[in-house]
Amino acid sequence: MELDLKDKVVLITGAARGIGLETAGCFAAEGAKLMLVDRDETALAAAASQIEGSGCIAADLTADGAADAIIQKTVDTFGRIDVLINNAGISEPAPIAGTSPESWRKVMAVNLDAVYLLSRAAMPALGRSKGAIVSLASFAGKRGTLFGDNTSYSTSKAGVIGFTRALAIEAAKVDVRVNAVAPGPVATELIKALTPEQLKRVTDYVPLGRMAEPREIAELIVFLSSARATYITGEVVNVNGGLYMD
């Protein structure tokens, strides 16, 4: 069975680099139409230039009204939305005593509130297209992070997991599927900046003995968005080399 993504309209946040950019490339290879969103305008323009025919929106997802504006511009540009990929995320590691309320709220705003706001804004359009939402959770939302004290990040990703399961039940009433992926360590720019000792510590925990490549996460995201996954909803799929199993 084909993925059946040709001419589907896919909105991806955090699309300028890493998993987001790789996911955009995978969708484009299947003939999808892309709207790329990122707060880094320069990196976003470079990403959009790599994908012919894609649109782009430079936006801060935490700004008032941003989610509604992004969804409206996507519908105005392409006439519809078939898939929403909630990929944007940040991390501000610190012990709980050193995590300021401002830092806590910032992490929640990007990692969890934006998922809620964009999903909420997109639901009417997704209901019309019988579409799908895939959000980026994390193994850290299930067992805590490997990278030291980072309660805000783990909490935000646990929130994405709960949100995914709850919305999947509601969205099923209009034939919209809602899933998430929970990656372990991925070889993105953030992880590659770790010291050799930190990298060894991370990979020593992984039974497969290595980090994922962004494409290995992207291909799962595309699958969950496709016609091959039409009976999958409410799932949070581990893709972590055996790091965490449930």
Per-residue confidence (pLDDT) for residue 145, from 0 to 100: 80
Q: What is the mean pLDDT of residues 48-57?
A: 94
Task: Give the Cα separation of 218 and 135 in Å (integer).
Answer: 12
Q: What is the mean pLDDT of residues 108-134?
A: 98
For residue 113, is it left (φ>0), alpha (ψ between -120 and 50) or beta? alpha
In DSSP terms, 12 is beta-bridged to: 36, 85
Domains of the chain: 9-237 (3.40.50.720)
Enumerate residues 6+ apart whose C-beta is below 8 A from 163. 112, 115, 116, 119, 135
Q: What's the pLDDT band for 211 if we cut at 50, 70, 90? A: very high
pLDDT of residue 48 exceeding 80, the answer is yes
Per-residue confidence (pLDDT) for residue 196, from 0 to 100: 84
Q: Which of 116, 153, 205, 244 is catalytic?
A: 153
30, burial (CB in 10 Å: exposed 0-12, middle 13-18, buried 19+): middle
Q: What's the pLDDT band for 198 if we cut at 50, 70, 90? A: confident
**CA-CA-CA-CA torsion sign (20, 149, 240, 211):** positive
Lowest-pLDDT choice from 50-59, 156-165, 195-204: 195-204
In the numeric block, which tokens belong to residue 177? 């599927």
Average pLDDT value for the chain: 95
Per-residue confidence (pLDDT) for residue 39, from 0 to 100: 97
pLDDT of residue 8 exceeding 70, the answer is yes
Angle at 51 between CA 218 and CA 38, to 5 degrees: 70
Question: At 17, is the secondary structure helix, strand, or coil?
Answer: coil
Strand order in the sheet with 33-38: 55-58, 33-38, 9-13, 83-86, 132-136, 177-183, 236-239
Question: At 226, is the secondary structure helix, strand, or coil?
Answer: coil
In the numeric block, which tokens belong to residue 134? 């895939």
pLDDT of residue 77 exceeding 90, the answer is yes
**pTM beyond 0.85:** yes
pLDDT of residue 144 exceeding 90, the answer is no
Closest of 237, 219, 239 to residue 3, by C-alpha: 219
Task: Give the Cα separation of 244 and 242 in Å (integer).
Answer: 5
Closest of 22, 8, 107 to residue 61, by C-alpha: 107
Closest of 6, 10, 20 to residue 136, by C-alpha: 20
Q: What is the mean pLDDT of residues 179-186?
A: 96
Q: What is the mean pLDDT of residues 33-39?
A: 98
pLDDT of residue 193 exceeding 70, the answer is no
Respond yes or no: is residue 116 known to be catalytic.
no
